[in-house]
Amino acid sequence: MSSIEEKVIEIIMEQLDVTKEECVPEAAFIDDLGADSLDIVELVMAMEENFAIEISDDELMKIRTIQDVIDFIKKKRGTLN
Amino acid sequence: MNLEGKVALVTGGSRGIGRAISMRLAKDGAHVFVNYARNEKAAEETLRMILEQGGSGEVFPFDVSNYKSVQEAAGAIVKKKGRLDILVNNAGVSVDGLIAMMKEEDWDRVIANNLKGVFNCCRAVVRQMIRQHGGRIVNISSVVAATGNAGQVNYSASKAGVEGLTKSMARELGSRNICINAVAPGFIETDMTAFLKEDEREKVKSQIPLERLGTPEDVAGVVRFLVSEEAGYLTGQVIHVNGGLYM
């Protein structure tokens, strides 16, 4: 697991108070991890700060799963192949 | 002095109720950004009065009806001070007239400043307050939001809108320890009511149990309470400050 994935999951675990086992890439924030839409806003803000990126409001609306977040970060940092 | 360390933004802080609020928050230790749109002289005077009483603050001109300007302003405040604890949406205009003759731009201007302006400012500060897991927002409404007032279709609509916005925001953000309330002043001695003729003034007074118009300080005192620790369980409310004019 790359360090981006590790960091993302660490942030999610802290923000949503969930276990590492629950944080599989396909986990959906609202349906599986018990987040509400405000949690997602907060999560995205934490990601922006931690990875020095900006996620637009339109992009935010598309985020459903942990994998979506990981993909966004990789894309923004230019490391998605 | 328990607003020590807090950063506050008061829109329309240059005169009237906004000036009294700015001074009161600064008196109790907050660093107050006194926003104004046009009246630089009045804003500088408010700042001078703040500094004279030993307080801390600065003037900050921007137009609340301009979404982008407000975003930039809020960003600048957070960049400079690292936090934003209190927002008082006080900036407001009135362009009175009967609806039968009201121009479209008279409606638009009042809605843009009084309602959209409140949305713009709330929108601009809310993420920072979420990050902080805490914040206080006070929106200045008006007694006419509840009662209506002939000649103020636009003004009363804008304020009634602010009250709806206040309640919805309170529901959305309570989980992040952000309290949002509205204060609805009655008739207060400011530039906005200075035009009242003597007989109109007496007519108004006769409807007020406390037999006087309010002062800006009467309103500022309630705003001060709403941003205090003691008001930590008070959110989504409209507090009427009107000498009993409306109950």
Quick check: A38 and B131 CB within 8 A?
no
Does this complex have an ipTM over 0.90?
no
Whether residue B67 lies within 8 A of chain A, CB to CB, comes out as no
First to last CA, chain A: 16
How far, in Å, CA of B33 to CA of B108, rounded?
Answer: 27
- Given a cut of 80, whether residue A81 has pLDDT beyond it is no
pLDDT tens digit string along B79-129?
A: 999 999 999 999 999 999 999 999 999 999 999 999 999 999 999 999 999
Q: What structural domains and CATH numbers belong to chain B? A: 7-241 (3.40.50.720)
Strands B86-89 and B56-61: unpaired
- Given a cut of 80, whether residue A2 has pLDDT beyond it is no
Q: What percent of chain B has pLDDT over 90?
A: 94
Interface of A with B (CB under 8 A): 38, 41-42, 45
How far, in Å, CA of B177 to CA of B223, rounded?
Answer: 18
Q: Chain B: give the shortest CA distance to residue A56, in Å.
A: 13
- Of the candidates B22, B24, B162, the residue with the CA atom closest to the CA atom of residue B88: B22
- Of the candidates A23, A24, A60, the residue with the CA atom closest to the CA atom of residue A43: A60
Pick the CATH number of A3-76 from 3.10.20.30, 1.10.10.60, 1.10.1200.10, 3.40.50.300: 1.10.1200.10
What pLDDT score was predicted for residue A76?
Answer: 84
Cα B138 to Cα A24, A48, B107, B239: the distances in Å are 42, 29, 24, 10
pLDDT band at B1 (very low <50, low <70, confident <90, very high): confident
What pLDDT score was predicted for residue A24?
Answer: 93
Q: Please name the helix (run of DSSP H) or strand (run of DSSP E) that holds residue B203, with its range, or none.
A: helix B198-205
What residue spans define the domains of chain A? 3-76
Which residues are within 8 A (CB) of B69 and not within 5 positions of it... i.e. 6 or more apart? Answer: B62, B63
What is the average pLDDT value for chain B, to the nearest integer? Answer: 97
Helices (H) and strands (E) in chain A, counts: 4, 0
Burial class (CB in 10 A: 0-12, 13-18, 19+), B110: buried
Q: Which residues of A touch B127 (CB under 8 A)?
A: 41, 45
How far, in Å, CA of A50 to CA of B226, rounded?
Answer: 34
Q: Which residues of A touch B175 (CB under 8 A)?
A: 38
Average the pLDDT over A19-42 and give the result.
92
How far, in Å, CA of B61 to CA of A54, rounded?
Answer: 27
- Given a cut of 50, whether residue B4 has pLDDT beyond it is yes
Quick check: A38 and B172 CB within 8 A?
yes
What pLDDT score was predicted for residue B63?
Answer: 98
What pLDDT score was predicted for residue B193?
Answer: 84
- The SS3 assignment for B68 reads helix
How far, in Å, CA of B123 to CA of B74, rounded?
Answer: 10
Average the pLDDT over B209-230 and give the result.
97
Q: Which residues of A touch B130 (CB under 8 A)?
A: 38, 41-42, 45
- Given a cut of 70, whether residue A79 has pLDDT beyond it is no
pLDDT tens digit string along B27-80?
A: 999 999 999 999 999 999 999 999 999 999 999 999 999 999 999 999 999 999
Average the pLDDT over B180-200 and give the result.
92
- Of the candidates B81, B66, B62, B78, the residue with the CA atom closest to the CA atom of residue B11: B62
Q: Which of A16, A42, A49 is the best mutation test for B, with the most CBs of B within 10 A?
A: A42
Q: Please name the helix (run of DSSP H) or strand (run of DSSP E) that holds residue B222, with its range, or none.
A: helix B216-226
Q: Whole-prediction pTM value?
A: 0.92
Q: Please name the helix (run of DSSP H) or strand (run of DSSP E) that holds residue B122, with its range, or none.
A: helix B117-132
Average the pLDDT over B157-183 and give the result.
97
Opening angle at CA A76, ends A75 and A79, nearest 5 = 50
- Given a cut of 70, whether residue A80 has pLDDT beyond it is no
